[in-house]
Amino acid sequence: MKAYVFPGQGSQFPEMGKDLYESSAEAKKLFDEADSILGFSITDIMFNGTPEDLKETRVTQPAIFLHSVILAKVLGNDFKPEMVAGHSLGEFSALVAAGAITFQEGLKLVSKRANAMQSACDITEGTMAAILGLDDEVVEKVCMEIDGVVVPANYNCPGQLVISGEIEAVKKACEKLTEAGARRAMLLPVGGAFHSPLMEPARADLAKAIENTVIKTPVCPVYQNVTASAVIDPVEIKTNLVSQLTSPVKWTQTMHAMIADGATQVVEVGPGKVLQGLFKKVDRSFEAASAEV
């Protein structure tokens, strides 16, 4: 069974999507439409911008979404998902690719999400850190013992968990986790405490937009970050999307669930190769590749 997965923030690169734009009339039409919907030329930033230009949250999230979704559309009949999932932002790409949300509505939601997250970052400074080489349970226990807000945010794969929260609390957790035997505990170059309670203002803001969006039954099960289980019910999809901003991304659990449900190969749709690498860390024999046109 073939699973398609969609990357999240951090996978961007200069000239992303330019080859699609130049080689496909359908891709060109969608990219041009995206410029119109967003009210600025995101294609110019994607194709000609610097790495710094692409790091801005209001640009990064729609850029990755566009690269992923347009690539899936250009695949045409070759895109036949039996299950899909996306990491954080990538969940929106997965839902559009699986027919649950239209391209236009998906882009508007992603843009709203990016701006809401940026606003939440402006309200309260926060950060994230990658913890390598410890069991999840150890990281969870240390986070609970720290004064201040610090929580597990991204369960990326066994032995790799990202924590998120207030700057001083995250730094203190890194010290404690290093003492507990972490191979590495390093702060990440991010602008906020994503997937933590500090994103509550963004969650409340995005909830209204999600409630007003028509979500249909997807063509295949979508494994959502909040539950790490297969979902097809539109009401449940909406509920999980609203919770996603302040809840951890259960990617390790998602990979195990997809494999348990019959996935035998995974195709990563969008920039980078991070997600297929994570599948390989769960099972070295697992067949993983990037989508190509």
Residues annotated as part of the active site: 88, 195
Tokens of 128: 């994230």
Question: Residues of 240-263 as b/e, b for ≥16 C-beta within 10 angstroms?
Answer: bbbebbbbbbbbbbbbebbbeeeb
Is 244 strand, coil or helix? helix
- Give the Å distances, CA to CA, from 33 to 38, 39, 100, 108, 170: 9, 10, 20, 12, 40
Q: Which amino acid is at 163?
A: I
As a whole number of angstroms, the distance between CA 104 and CA 112 comes to 12
Which parts of 124-158 fold into alpha helices (H)? 136-145
Matching residue, tokens 């790495």 = 51
Tokens of 172: 């203190």
Q: Name residues whose C-beta falls within 8 Å of residue 54's C-beta, 6 or more positions apart in sequence.
A: 12, 13, 14, 16, 45, 46, 60, 63
Tokens of 187: 């702060």
Is 80 strand, coil or helix? coil
Q: Any bridge partners for residue 2, and if so which? A: 265
- Closest-CA residue to 93 (of 11, 15, 160): 11
Q: Name residues whose C-beta falls within 8 Å of residue 194's C-beta, 6 or more positions apart in sequence.
A: 9, 88, 117, 128, 153, 164, 245
